[in-house]
Amino acid sequence: MKKIDLMIFDLDGTLAATGQDLVNSVNYALRSIGLQEKPAADIIACVGDGVTKLMERALGADNHRHLKEALNIFSDHYGTHLLDNTFLYPGVEEVLLKFSETKKVILTNKRYDYSLALVRGLGIEKYFLEIIGADSMPFLKPDRRQVEYLLDKYRARRENTVMIGDGGNDILAAKNSGILSLVLLNGLGDRNTLRKMNADYYCEDIREIIALFEGSCAEK
């Protein structure tokens, strides 16, 4: 097994199944400005690069003039309904408990306030040292500077740090910073696209991590 000093987790599609609530809030925003709703799969395909990109893609180029209004409507609705249908994936808490002594953080392109509300609402905040959201730094995944910050802050060895996620940005963030990448294929990302990106590890179930990695004791 590979020894791991620091585990960097994505949030949406990795720890929590957030897709339905994102879809509902995007479609609520589209309806509110008089546009037609979109199929869930089309909206899920827009996820991964932050809320502005999500709404830009959902609106399409012809409706860009509605972006500010749609963002405001989405933000208000999602902030109230982000836990309506969202749940932890099976095995998540088992994995977090197994690696309870290993340093763990969340790195997501989701806004910090949404991320904190989700993590608290799902009862897993206690497992993480830090949450870095889309507005926590002036850059998003896959920018390597976020990972470099974490490596330095937690004195983690590059070769013993893993990025765990379900999207292309997670793989690219790992590759850009020289850490390991592990991809969960049953999240929000397109599995065929992810397979072509040559991550270090691929898993169908997050519990497979237990057989792959050996945790390190966190410094007190």
Active-site pick, 5, 10, 12, 49: 10
Q: Which one-letter amino acid corresponds to residue 40?
A: A
Is 113 one of the catalytic residues?
Answer: no
Sequence-ordered list of residues with C-beta below 8 angstroms from that of 174, at least 6 positions apart, any chain:
147, 162, 163, 180, 181, 199, 200
Give the Å distances, CA to CA, from 162 to 3, 51, 196.
10, 25, 19
CA pair distance 124, 108, nearest whole angstrom? 15
Contact 154, 129 (CB under 8 A): yes
What residues are annotated to the active site?
10
